[in-house]
């Protein structure tokens, strides 16, 4: 198995596992963590798969760099929203259909 | 966690793995080699490092939108702050804030201030020819700002005032101004003339560094402090 395929498959496992965790948990922080790991898996697939003569391809690398900054900004915003939500309601999960 | 939910999650997770894995394994290879095209384009990009060239020359539209996303996130975060904040200068607000008031942190911050500023400037400058650039430098500045705030200082370069709002906006505004100025000279959006490209890219990166640093710090600072959680 070539190195780029190995990176991409590890990325696939990360995305799938984090997707499962995202569905399984309702605690907002766990969901945010799962979502971040899912994003990291996507980045790993993008950078790992696109290799050029055994060196990373700069174009997906630059796109992933952009993606990381956006991910950091949205994670920070989500954390602020969660803390406001916790301060306002004292809950760590969003209301579900069956317990409204 | 209820049982049905757990089973459904595992099933969907496995399905996701199979779909993504087969997509990766059966991918088709493009008939062109972008890395070769990029290597040929580097001399006319104005910078020597391929990633910086992609970020601020060949795919600068992405970077422009990225700064816009960062700005939107900070504006939303600032809008979500407590509507009735304590007066910035009153002692209560300092107590409520996540301040760690020890001489170790205070003196460490003063020692790190020049070092981290220098690191940020170096990273910014290095971006032209090796890994580095506005985002890395901005992240170092933001870390410095977080240290500055956590050690209890509300004044100085990281205070929340009108100037920090100007700095927040400067990155996107400056980038957008540079992007649209090319239209005045009959060139497409974001198409810098190659003779000035190096200067324009360094100027944009410098403004971006300050804006990114202030934005990330703003996101940190607008989270409610731990003692402020009313249930």
Would you state the structure tokens that stand for residue B42, as one six-digit string?
């580097």
Taking all residues of chain A, what is their mean pLDDT, rounded to a whole number? 87
Kindly report, residue by residue over B22-76, the tens digit of the pLDDT: 998 888 877 777 777 888 888 878 788 888 888 888 888 888 999 999 999 998 9
Q: Are B212 and B66 in contact (CB under 8 A)?
A: no
Nearest Cα of chain B lies from the Cα of A61 at a distance, in angstroms, of 7
| pLDDT at residue A96 greater than cutoff 90 | no
Q: Would you state the structure tokens that stand for residue B161, as one six-digit string?
A: 């005032």
Residue B30 CB neighbour total at 10 angstroms: 8
CB nearest B77 (choices: A20, A69, A80) = A80
* ipTM for the complex shown: 0.84
B contact residues 37-56, partner A, Cβ 8 Å cutoff: 38, 50-51, 53-55
Asked if the Cβ–Cβ distance from A87 to B229 is below 8 Å, we say yes
- Here the tokens at position B215 are 């934005």
Res B90: pLDDT:
45
- The distance of A33 to chain B (nearest Cα, Å) reads 16
The arithmetic mean of pLDDT across residues B151-161, rounded, is 63
pLDDT above 90 coverage of chain B, percent: 27
């Amino acid at each position: 198995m070539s190195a780029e395929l190995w990176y991409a498959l590890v990325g696939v496992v990360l995305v799938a596992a984090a997707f499962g965790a995202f569905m399984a948990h309702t605690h907002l922080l766990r969901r945010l963590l799962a979502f971040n790991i899912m994003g990291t898996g996507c980045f790993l697939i993008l950078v790992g798969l696109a290799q050029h003569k055994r060196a990373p391809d700069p174009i997906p690398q630059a796109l992933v760099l952009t993606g990381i900054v956006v991910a950091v900004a949205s994670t920070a915003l989500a954390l602020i929203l969660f803390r406001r939500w916790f301060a306002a309601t004292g809950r760590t999960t969003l209301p579900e259909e069956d317990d409204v | 966690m209820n049982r049905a939910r757990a089973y459904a999650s595992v099933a969907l997770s496995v399905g996701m793995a199979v779909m993504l894995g087969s997509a990766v394994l059966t991918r088709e290879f493009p008939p062109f080699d972008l890395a070769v095209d990029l290597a040929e384009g580097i001399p006319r990009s104005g910078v020597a490092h391929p990633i910086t060239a992609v970020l601020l020359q060949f795919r600068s539209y992405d970077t422009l939108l990225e700064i816009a996303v960062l700005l939107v996130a900070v504006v939303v975060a600032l809008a979500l702050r407590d509507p009735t904040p304590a007066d910035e200068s009153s002692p209560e607000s300092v107590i409520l804030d996540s301040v760690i008031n020890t001489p170790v942190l205070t003196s460490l911050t003063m020692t790190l201030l020049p070092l981290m500023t220098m690191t940020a400037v170096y990273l910014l400058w290095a971006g032209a020819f090796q890994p580095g650039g506005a985002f890395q430098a901005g992240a170092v500045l933001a870390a410095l700002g977080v240290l500055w705030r956590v050690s209890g200082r509300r004044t100085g370069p990281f205070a929340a005032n009108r100037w920090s709002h100007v700095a927040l906006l400067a990155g996107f505004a400056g980038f957008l101004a540079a992007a649209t100025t090319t239209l005045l000279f009959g060139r497409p959006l974001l198409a810098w003339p190659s003779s000035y490209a190096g200067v324009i890219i360094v100027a944009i990166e410098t403004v971006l560094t300050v804006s990114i640093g202030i934005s990330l710090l703003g996101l940190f600072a607008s989270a409610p402090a731990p003692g402020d959680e009313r249930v």
